[in-house]
Chain A
Amino acid sequence: MKIGRLVRATLSGTSQKKTTKIEHEEPTNELKDQVTERLENIRKQTSEIDDIMFKKIATDEGVVTVIYSNSLVEKMTIQTMVFIPLTNYIHQIHQVSDSIEDTDIQEITKKVITGQTILFFHKTFQLLSIDTYSAPTRSITNTEVESTVIGPQDAFTESLETNISLVKRRIKSPMLKNETFTIGTETDTKISVVYMDGIVNKDNLEVLKERIEKLDHPAYTDVTILKQLIEDNPLSPFPQYYLTVRPDTVSGYLHDGRIVVFMENSSAVMICPVTFLEMFMSVEDYYNRWTTASLLRMLRFFGFFLTITITPLYVSALTFHPEILPYELLLNLQESRAKVPFPPLFEVLFIELIIEVLREAGSRMPAKVGQTIGIVGGIVIGTAAVEAGLISNILVVLVATSALLSFLPPIFLVSNTSRFVRYIFIISAGLFGLFGQMIAFTWLMVHLLRIDSLGKPYMSPVIPRKATDLLNGIIRFPTKYLTKKSGISKSPKK
């Protein structure tokens, strides 16, 4: 009985102190009926939930019915925390359990289906609950969506407790607070709002809590759903909160006074407020030398604007403004699309859609097949389409470049946004040439200027709220200068 010894060892400290037996009065028949009825009611409530177990166990204090959920409580846990103490050291059960005063059947059932074990003492008619939630979880593994070459490799899992522990082991400070809320009228999903007290902007925190409390969405399966519901501008194609699976990113942002929202069963967490520029920042930038980091940041940032303008430029130059191209380039372009019967707009839309199809097909298929499809599709369709005279080969180069550029942002949501925005640019270029493109660009700028992230301007660094923000902008200055908190999370002056 190795387990028995283990439990005895852990419980021996308390067992020596208290050995007084609790005396109970003999229950009346009326009470008996009530409790039997209650038990019956619990059975009824859980009648079609087959993983809920009712076990009768004979103990020193009479028969005890143990009610627990088979799928949320591990066998080992129920054994060590309930069965062994019940049969061997029953007085200790009273010390580790909570007494249930509430007689509401709904509440009791809820406890069972959230992984607690209910002990029902037939003789004394006491109801106790023990937290035995021990659903199997995935172990901490490397991140696959935000991998970096330098820096820690661990990533969040789907367990809320594990995720919070991953952050708490990085920030050992009593200032780190985590407030828990339950949302979702049907799913009862637990979320945790984590922030550094004393650094966080209280106004931001109030706004966020207010929005969470107002939620009445029935079901949450991932933090991205919550994110869309509490964003400032839900209709915008741009994500207004940062999404990450990396604990080091989270602790970096926590130090800067941001608020992080964890959700159970979600491996991604949400960081707010953030700025547009931060969508192009990776935590690896801080691990790299400042020169490399600045170069990569510039590449990502300008890459976003390039990916939405390259192919539209092709459309507008060939449709409306051949005169902006130098003679040699124009000749080259015209030669390459001499066999193409479509106007440039359709040519570009055609190949862009093919790229989308390849991308989507590649991401849905099993990894091995996906790769093959990607290569075969890319080469076969690309080469064949050019040879068949459906598209020009220069366009293939441009489209491939812009597809690659669209994968530069560290957050996948921004990459998706660039795909969507590119179509707006292509169509406006097809309709009004460079002028249409500029109109679309102006729209993009104004739209970005109008968006807020948790009430703070999304385009913060353009109109810096603080001069030191510029040190950690498109260019990342050497680490010794990056000591100030950013303006977006600055607490208001008292």
Chain B
Amino acid sequence: MSPKNLKVLGVYHVIFLVQNTMVGTGLLSAPQRLSVLGYSQVLMPIYFGIIATITLWPMVWICSQYKGDNLFRINELLLGKWMGKGINVLIVLHFTLLIAAIISNYMNLIQSTALPEQTTTVTILLVLLLLTYIVNGGIKTIARFCTLAFCLAIPMVYFLRWGIEKGDLSHIFPLFNFTSQEFFKAMQQGYLSILGYELIMFYFPYIIDQKKAFKHAMIGIWITISLVFITTVVSVMYYSEWQLEHVEFSVLHLFKAGEFSFVERIDIMGITFWVSLILTTAAAYLWSARKGLDSIRSKKNKYHVYFITAAIFGVIMLPVNREFQQKLFDASIYIEYIVILWPIFLCLIHLVRKKQVKSK
């Protein structure tokens, strides 16, 4: 493929790709994950946004130094072939685990709310099939799907109305009633709600206007941050501190506050609709993982995506107890923090080895 054809992502594609990969089940459980801070959690999403913006910068910078290459290739260039490939294998394994975590978490949620009388095996298979169908369409299809999913999902903000009506604004204050330990704990547990923007390192070569990519990605990040912020504020207004800590998917229950004469439990509709948001996130990760496998094996193969999907299915269906699986998934999410900080390390290496690498 010529470099000209490679570049397919326009401005809107980048914005919504960044925005929608960040929205997953994390958003639904954000208030609970931040509950260590109690009512003072309101400003946390804003801090997350600032951190995300700061960490986005090295990602875009390192990618703009190697315009035609994604992170997998940059790893190989900067760390040497074998070490780079080694790191890439870890990233692909980690992504496999992460996608399994995303899908498994969501399917558990579905099982507990919408389909209590069914096992999840067939539904998981169905979701994975749909996932491969999306990924086979390429990054542009994923980006278009992100845009569409955003347009369809944004009216759900309206359902927060009742939360605001029934809530109490005075809950928000005081803003800074927490210790530094609590702050870091909330940080550690809550930051995963906005993970996903780091994938820009993998689809950066496909962006048409790479010079403005940072700006566009930032717009995407702040759209998500404002959504998380709104939901956090409304949750704080609506719930008691005890509820914040113990209600698992508190945002879902906010939807329930609504009263219509023709339909009850809109939350079930909301949660089933959420599958499209889950699929955008999972599809972007799966696409990146496939690129990783392509790069590790140094050749393109359409079966790579099926291979990874099968691995994901295997991980979800692993015959281990639920606690261990959950630990595994949590670990995969914490590893993602390393992936976010990884480009800073790469930037340092790049500065040291710049001349060596360029001369290659």
Which of chain B's residues has its CB closest to A326's CB?
Answer: B264
**A49 sits at the interface (CB 8 A):** no
Partner of A439, one of B152, B260, B275: B275
Contacts of A438 in B (CB 8 A): 272-273, 275-276
**Of B118, B126, B127, most A-chain CB atoms within 10 Å:** B126
Q: Are B114 and A449 touching (Cβ within 8 A)?
A: no
A336 vs B158: C-alpha distance when bound (angstroms): 34
A437 vs B276: C-alpha distance when bound (angstroms): 12
Q: Are A459 and B114 touching (Cβ within 8 A)?
A: no
**Of B12, B115, B147, most A-chain CB atoms within 10 Å:** B115
Which of chain B's residues has its CB closest to A437's CB?
Answer: B272
Q: Are B114 and A446 touching (Cβ within 8 A)?
A: no
In the complex where A324-B265, A432-B123 touch, is A442 in contact with B114 (Cβ < 8 A)? no
Q: Are A435 and B264 touching (Cβ within 8 A)?
A: no
Contacts of B279 in A (CB 8 A): 442
Q: Are A462 and B262 touching (Cβ within 8 A)?
A: no
- B interface footprint on A158-192 (CB within 8 Å = 1, 0 otherwise): 00000000000000000000000000000000000
Partner of A442, one of B13, B130, B261: B130
Distance in angstroms from A158 CB to nearest chain B CB is: 40
A182 vs B273: C-alpha distance when bound (angstroms): 50
Contacts of A321 in B (CB 8 A): 114, 265, 268
- A interface footprint on B108-125 (CB within 8 Å = 1, 0 otherwise): 001000110110001100
Which of chain B's residues has its CB closest to A327's CB?
Answer: B264
Which of chain B's residues has its CB closest to A446's CB?
Answer: B134
A399 vs B84: C-alpha distance when bound (angstroms): 60
Which residues of A428-446 are within 8 A (CB) of B? 431-439, 441-443, 445-446
Contacts of A323 in B (CB 8 A): 264-265, 268
**Of B122, B133, B266, B272, most A-chain CB atoms within 10 Å:** B272
**A410 sits at the interface (CB 8 A):** no
Total contacts A to B, CB within 8 angstroms? 90
Contacts of A89 in B (CB 8 A): none
Which residues of B29-80 are within 8 A (CB) of A? none
Distance in angstroms from A366 CB to nearest chain B CB is: 44
In the complex where A320-B114, A439-B126, A462-B144 touch, is A446 in contact with B137 (Cβ < 8 A)? yes
**A457 sits at the interface (CB 8 A):** yes
We find that the number of chain B residues with CB closer than 8 angstroms to chain A is 38
Distance in angstroms from B225 CB to nearest chain A CB is: 23
Which residues of B108-166 are within 8 A (CB) of A? 110, 114-115, 117-118, 122-123, 126-127, 130, 133-134, 137, 141, 144-145, 147-149, 151-152
Size category of the A interface is 20 to 34
Contacts of A235 in B (CB 8 A): none
**B263 sits at the interface (CB 8 A):** yes
- B interface footprint on A456-482 (CB within 8 Å = 1, 0 otherwise): 010100110000000000000000000
In the complex where A329-B262, A435-B114 touch, is A449 in contact with B144 (Cβ < 8 A)? yes
Q: Are A326 and B262 touching (Cβ within 8 A)?
A: yes
Distance in angstroms from A426 CB to nearest chain B CB is: 16
Q: Are B268 and A324 touching (Cβ within 8 A)?
A: yes
Distance in angstroms from A322 CB to nearest chain B CB is: 10
Partner of B133, one of A324, A443, A457: A443
A433 vs B141: C-alpha distance when bound (angstroms): 27
Contacts of A217 in B (CB 8 A): none
**B331 sits at the interface (CB 8 A):** no
Contacts of A459 in B (CB 8 A): 144, 148
Q: Are A434 and B137 touching (Cβ within 8 A)?
A: no
**B269 sits at the interface (CB 8 A):** yes
Which residues of B256-286 are within 8 A (CB) of A? 260-266, 268-269, 272-273, 275-276, 279
Contacts of A450 in B (CB 8 A): 137, 141
**A100 sits at the interface (CB 8 A):** no
Partner of A457, one of B12, B144, B260: B144
A324 vs B255: C-alpha distance when bound (angstroms): 13
**A380 sits at the interface (CB 8 A):** no
**A325 sits at the interface (CB 8 A):** yes
**Of A320, A443, A446, A457, most B-chain CB atoms within 10 Å:** A446
Q: Are B115 and A433 touching (Cβ within 8 A)?
A: yes
**Of A436, A439, A442, A457, most B-chain CB atoms within 10 Å:** A442
A459 vs B152: C-alpha distance when bound (angstroms): 14
Distance in angstroms from A98 CB to nearest chain B CB is: 48
Contacts of A436 in B (CB 8 A): 126
Distance in angstroms from B101 CB to nearest chain A CB is: 19
**Of A320, A435, A438, A439, most B-chain CB atoms within 10 Å:** A435
- B interface footprint on A288-326 (CB within 8 Å = 1, 0 otherwise): 000000000000000000000000000000001101111
Q: Are B276 and A445 touching (Cβ within 8 A)?
A: yes
In the complex where A320-B115, A326-B262 touch, is A462 in contact with B276 (Cβ < 8 A)? no
A450 vs B272: C-alpha distance when bound (angstroms): 23
In the complex where A438-B276, A439-B126 touch, is A449 in contact with B148 (Cβ < 8 A)? yes
In the complex where A439-B275, A446-B145, A459-B144 touch, is A326 in contact with B263 (Cβ < 8 A)? yes
Partner of A324, one of B10, B123, B127, B269: B269
Contacts of B118 in A (CB 8 A): 432
A434 vs B265: C-alpha distance when bound (angstroms): 12
Contacts of B268 in A (CB 8 A): 321, 323-324, 434
Distance in angstroms from B14 CB to nearest chain A CB is: 12
**Of B144, B260, B265, B273, most A-chain CB atoms within 10 Å:** B144
Which of chain A's residues has its CB closest to B118's CB?
Answer: A432
Q: Are B115 and A432 touching (Cβ within 8 A)?
A: yes
Partner of A462, one of B123, B130, B147: B147
Partner of A445, one of B145, B264, B266, B272: B145
Distance in angstroms from A20 CB to nearest chain B CB is: 64
Partner of A449, one of B145, B273, B275: B145
Distance in angstroms from B131 CB to nearest chain A CB is: 10
In the complex where A450-B141, A462-B151 touch, is A435 in contact with B263 (Cβ < 8 A)? no
A437 vs B110: C-alpha distance when bound (angstroms): 13
A462 vs B268: C-alpha distance when bound (angstroms): 26
Contacts of B134 in A (CB 8 A): 446
Distance in angstroms from A344 CB to nearest chain B CB is: 15
Contacts of B13 in A (CB 8 A): 463
16 contacts between A and B (CB under 8 A): A320-B114, A320-B115, A323-B268, A326-B261, A326-B262, A431-B122, A434-B268, A434-B269, A435-B115, A438-B273, A438-B275, A438-B276, A439-B127, A449-B145, A457-B144, A462-B151
Please name the 3 residue pairs, one residue from A and one from B, whose CB atoms are nearest each other, closest first. Answer: A438-B272, A434-B272, A450-B137
Q: A324-B263, A439-B123, A439-B127 are in contact. List 5 more A-B contacts (CB 8 A).
A: A433-B115, A434-B268, A435-B110, A435-B114, A459-B144
Question: B residues within 8 Å of A by Cβ?
Answer: 10, 12-13, 110, 114-115, 117-118, 122-123, 126-127, 130, 133-134, 137, 141, 144-145, 147-149, 151-152, 260-266, 268-269, 272-273, 275-276, 279
